[in-house]
Structure 1
Amino acid sequence: MLNSLRPAFVIVVLLTALTGLAYPLAMTGAAQVLFPAQANGSLIEKNGAVVGSALIGQAFTSDRYFHGRPSATTGADPADASKTVPQPYNAANSMGSNLGPTNPALMDRVKADMAALKAENPGAAVPVDLVTTSASGLDPDISPEAALFQVPRIAKARGLDEDVLRRLVAHETSERTFGLLGEPRVNVVAINLALDRFAGAK
């Protein structure tokens, strides 16, 4: 009996040590050496303090800043823990809305967002990513078109020349990864920090 159990026990201990300890430690060590910023969450700092992550969007509502995509994430209602309330970019509850394209709540929300954006920039076509949520609800990026759409509002709120802001958008635009993967994009947190730096330097 013991002769039969010993090999099985040894294999379990060996595989546990290899896959549960040695492998994770090796991968963690390699990541810290090769990609330390990414391994630690792609954190963004301002004046030595962490203000966000390049991987997670934030809710900017002031006219002085670029706004990200709508977020459908929710969180517990502070007044009643058995209920949920909208909590944009809640990384603890990544999710999409799961509302179908004919759902009245989704249609009403998109119509309201479209109307507000058209009033903000009359005559300009509203980029689709400014009225649609991502599957995760955490998308940190918008298209260059979505950033440029917001330039007139920000220029007016900050008293800046629109051409200056367009150049900032061009500077902060990341191209396709390896020239093939994904689409050109603008990280909203990064461009808003750059915007503050520019305004502070004036």
Structure 2
Amino acid sequence: MAPLREAKGRDAVLETLKRDGPIAADAAAEKLGITGMAVRQHLAALESSGLAAHVEEARPRGRPVKLWSATAEANANFTDSHSSLAADLIVQMKKAFGDEGLDKLLKLRNADLERAYRAKTDKAQTLKAKLDALAKIRSAEGYMAEVRREPETGEWLFVENHCPICAAARLCTGLCREELALFHRVLGKDIKVERLSHILAGAGRCAYRVTAL
């Protein structure tokens, strides 16, 4: 059982890096409710496997702190929604229908997604409840979505810590464009959705600021 527990512990640490990285080992330990020593052991194993990496951040006092993140190689450990198949289909659709035809197909797909999403989000009475419902839907699709609140401004952030269609999105930027348009329509015309960070641009996660107009 020990190897199984160890593997589960590493998986939990890796998911924490994916969701909250860059993060210090002690902060990760606090989130997971385990010892800092256990987290550091898992981090060492993840780093040796190429799944985690760290940078050192200087502090006013004491030694620099290591801040840990999941690497790009770690993405294979999370849901990918058949990413390679999706990428192949994008290539074939471009050949068959051209860029304009592909855009039409994406809009049709988004119309279906909008209906499915709104069936679950339109019941929400508040923006927070609507965002929570959207995060639940997107997490089920592999995006590791969550809702956060900016401590300084109180504004809502909709965060997707993983992109299960990343390979396809690199081939077709229309997927990301349509995703943003989808969020606008699902959340409502009186809500502003602004992308702050983008996985395809090198960020660790996609983040959107969501505010009422």
Between Structure 1 and Structure 2, the one with more helix by share is 2
TM-score by length of 2: 0.26
TM-score by length of 1: 0.27
